[in-house]
């Protein structure tokens, strides 16, 4: 397993006009740690996650995974996006075994692994169905099983539960924690939802926008399994809401200043 070291990472998207998506990000994520990235829209959470996945290059700075510089996508990293992007013409099990198939793993072996991960995400019995026959929550579980099937050391998740209904989302959070507690892979999870960020994480990183910077980091020192109404979690949520309110007020004040300049 491996952790990340993010040193002086900035990202400018060329224009016109150029957009400074990230500026001076320094962050260390420990091996086996569960970290959530939180922040208002446009503060660079997805951009940083994509740089960590090797899908984008930083303009400045470096990201290391287990000491090695991340320059391109690697087998060590599994990625789950909001849209699981399953292939509609492949059955559920053939979607899950895709990564193993691309690596040339023999059919019997990859099928057994895919079956195991489908069972792990609570989907035993739907192997031969097609994606359109599943609910949104089930499709997202297939996406998670597919990411896990290649045994990555790290799971990077970008709003993976953003498109499912509230009750399904709570269940998926519970199941993800269950998987994490059994396998202790490093997980970095992007969300807009303060309660989700706090419930899941060992540490919550709040970003501020224009340009994206780390605003504040909180340790969530609450043992698992956690009750969602645990007083310490609720107090932490309130503290984070207050910080988001103040960063939004600061941004609005800057906009007004800019308009009067």
Ligand X SMILES: Nc1ncnc2c1ncn2[C@@H]1O[C@H](COP(=O)(O)OP(=O)(O)OP(=O)(O)O)[C@@H](O)[C@H]1O
- The residue range among 40-48, 104-112, 147-155, 172-180 that interacts with ligand X, by the rule CB under 6 A, is 40-48
**Nearest approach, Cβ of 187 to ligand X (angstroms)?**
17
Given 9, 38, 43, 120, the residue binding ligand X (CB under 6 A): 43
CA atoms within 13 A on the CB side of 74: 20
Contact region for ligand X (CB under 6 A) — 37-45, 99-107, 121-129, 244-252? 37-45
The reply on whether position 77 binds ligand X by CB under 6 A is: no
In this complex, which beta carbon is closest to ligand X, that of residue 44 or of residue 160?
A: 44
By CB under 6 A, the count of residues binding ligand X is: 13
Write out the binding residues for ligand X, residues 178-207 only, by CB under 6 A. Answer: 192
213 near ligand X, rule: CB under 6 A: no
Q: Please identify which residue in 4, 33, 36, 44 interacts with ligand X, judged by CB under 6 A.
A: 44
> Under the criterion CB under 6 A, does residue 45 sit at the interface with ligand X?
yes
Distance CA 118, CA 146 (A): 8
46 in contact with ligand X (CB under 6 A): yes
> Per CB under 6 A, which of residues 17..36 are in contact with ligand X?
19, 21
Which positions lie near ligand X, rule CB under 6 A?
13, 19, 21, 39, 41-47, 192, 212
């Amino acid at each position: 397993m491996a952790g990340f070291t993010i040193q002086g990472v900035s990202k400018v998207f060329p224009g016109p006009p150029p957009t400074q998506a990230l500026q001076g990000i320094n962050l260390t994520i420990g091996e086996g740690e569960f970290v959530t990235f939180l922040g208002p829209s446009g503060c660079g959470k997805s951009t940083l996650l994509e740089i960590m996945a090797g899908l984008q290059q930083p303009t400045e700075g470096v990201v290391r995974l287990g000491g090695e510089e991340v320059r391109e996508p690697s087998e060590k990293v599994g990625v789950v996006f909001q849209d699981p992007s399953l292939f509609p013409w492949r059955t559920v099990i053939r979607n899950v075994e895709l990564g193993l198939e691309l690596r040339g793993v023999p059919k019997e072996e990859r099928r057994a692994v895919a079956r195991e991960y489908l069972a792990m995400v609570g989907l035993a019995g739907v192997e031969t169905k097609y994606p359109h026959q599943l609910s949104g929550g089930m499709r997202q579980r297939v996406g998670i099983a597919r990411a896990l099937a290649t045994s990555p050391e790290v799971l990077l998740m970008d709003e993976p539960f953003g498109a499912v209904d509230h009750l399904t989302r709570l269940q998926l959070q519970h199941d993800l924690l269950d998987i994490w507690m059994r396998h202790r892979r490093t997980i970095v999870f992007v969300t807009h939802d303060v309660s989700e960020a706090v419930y899941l994480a060992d540490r919550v990183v709040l970003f501020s926008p224009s340009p994206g910077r780390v605003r504040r980091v909180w340790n969530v020192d609450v043992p698992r399994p956690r009750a969602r109404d645990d007083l310490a979690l609720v107090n932490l949520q309130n503290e984070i809401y207050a910080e988001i309110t103040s960063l939004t007020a600061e941004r609005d004040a800057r906009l007004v200043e800019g308009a009067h300049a």
